[in-house]
Chains A and B, each alone.
Chain A
């Protein structure tokens, strides 16, 4: 998809947004082959597990918090709280795997293609226009959580 394919309001937002481009970071190297690796998913679909506090869609600049999704959560029970109207929410409503393919990750583990599904996966809200707290607080906390779980690979997907 190209930015010019978006509705006018979103094109203007992208054009006016003050992008912060960090210095490049050397890519990490895998400590073990993929078929032995522990893999986690990270989404910005604003998915919330049953019983968890929803994202605060009233916060100016976006809610920088994240929710933990346990590996055994039935993904059909995840609630979607993404606030953007820039995309059709219906495909994700029909099948959460289009944004958060936890079922497919379990399939890959069963097939021996990965070592293990990580015990905890992460859900952020997207469309965060004021990313200071995300950068300084919640993103490092999220990374620490996956590091504590000895995650080798994180697969990330925006929506």
Chain B
């Protein structure tokens, strides 16, 4: 994932990634990332939790602007 993120940034696209394992994400120091606190397989939270999923996207978009 960090290789794709890097390739996108090299083309001038602002990227924000979800981290499921902050300990590992920190090694790569991607430009912008958000630890959502959910487990593997469900980075945007619980099935059917529309508000929760949208909230994570809004947090990521706020980081894009930071």
B64/A158 in contact, CB under 8 A: no
A27/B32 in contact, CB under 8 A: yes
- Chain B residue, CB-CB nearest to A43: B43
Quick one: which of A1, A3, A37 contacts B64, CB cutoff 8 A?
Answer: A37
B42/A147 in contact, CB under 8 A: no
B65/A34 in contact, CB under 8 A: yes
Which residues, 15 to 66 on B, are CB-close (under 8 Å) to A? 15-18, 20-21, 23-24, 27-29, 31-32, 38-48, 50, 53-54, 56-58, 60-62, 64-65
Interface size class of A (residues with CB under 8 A): 35 or more
A21/B27 in contact, CB under 8 A: yes
Task: Tell me the bound Cα distance from A112 to B61 in angstroms.
Answer: 13
Q: Could you write out 27 A-B pairs with CB less than 8 Å apart?
A: A1-B20, A3-B23, A19-B27, A21-B27, A21-B28, A22-B3, A25-B6, A25-B10, A30-B65, A87-B40, A97-B50, A98-B41, A98-B43, A99-B44, A104-B57, A107-B50, A108-B58, A113-B58, A126-B1, A131-B3, A139-B6, A153-B61, A156-B8, A157-B1, A158-B20, A158-B43, A159-B20
Interface residues of A (CB under 8 A from B): 1-3, 14, 19, 21-22, 24-30, 33-34, 37, 39, 42, 44, 84, 86-89, 91-92, 94-95, 97-99, 101, 104-105, 107-108, 113-114, 122, 124, 126, 131, 134-135, 139-140, 142-144, 146-147, 151-159
